[in-house]
């Protein structure tokens, strides 16, 4: 029975084209080139700026979960930072205090001494929850550069020492 199953699988893939190694190299080049590109080449909302790492150089219009949230509005907004829901959900200190209480109930203490750092962290979490919903433990997504910069303006670090996006372990 197992050999018959393998024959079916082999027959199923028999007519599929083989992968082209040169094509894979081209996509890697495109993927790594944003650090060398001008922001206007990849940003369509006009509110992004160059970020320190490759994954962070992404516009709100490129992420389906974010652009879907923007399209829910009756009137069009050119950028997620112009969305009327961004301030009450992610930037309002009282909403972030509530998010902190929920976080603390589920995960325990938040090991951040500076209030601005805590607010930034909770703003990122609130934005992800708002656009993606529940992701689960250790699942991380990239927040658009324009939104990250807006959160940085609202909750700045005095030493301009931001962590940036980190892949999960």
Most confident of 52-56, 105-109, 125-129: 125-129
Q: Which of 31-35, 37-41, 61-65, 88-92 has the lowest mean pLDDT?
A: 31-35
Q: Which pTM value belongs to this model?
A: 0.74
pLDDT at 166 over 80: no
Q: What is the mean pLDDT of residues 42-64?
A: 93
Distance CA 3, CA 8 (A): 9
Q: Where are the domains of the chain?
A: 2-154
- Going by C-alpha positions, the residue among 146, 161, 159 that lies closest to residue 56 is 146
pLDDT at 22 over 70: no
SS3 84: coil
Q: Residue 30's pLDDT is what?
A: 44
């Amino acid at each position: 029975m197992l050999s018959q199953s393998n024959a079916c699988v082999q027959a199923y893939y028999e007519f599929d084209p083989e992968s082209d190694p040169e094509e894979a190299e081209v996509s890697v080049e495109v993927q790594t080139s944003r650090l060398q590109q001008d922001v206007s080449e990849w940003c369509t909302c006009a509110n992004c700026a160059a970020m320190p790492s490759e994954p962070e150089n992404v516009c709100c219009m490129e992420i389906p979960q974010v652009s879907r949230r923007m399209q829910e509005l009756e009137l069009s907004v050119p950028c997620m930072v112009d969305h009327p829901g961004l301030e009450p959900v992610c930037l309002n200190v009282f909403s972030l205090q509530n998010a902190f209480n929920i976080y603390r109930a589920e995960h325990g203490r938040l090991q951040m001494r500076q209030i601005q750092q805590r607010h930034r962290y909770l703003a990122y979490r609130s934005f992800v929850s708002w656009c993606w919903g529940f992701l689960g433990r250790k699942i991380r997504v990239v927040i658009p550069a324009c939104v990250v910069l807006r959160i940085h303006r609202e909750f700045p670090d005095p030493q301009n020492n931001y962590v940036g996006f980190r892949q999960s372990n």
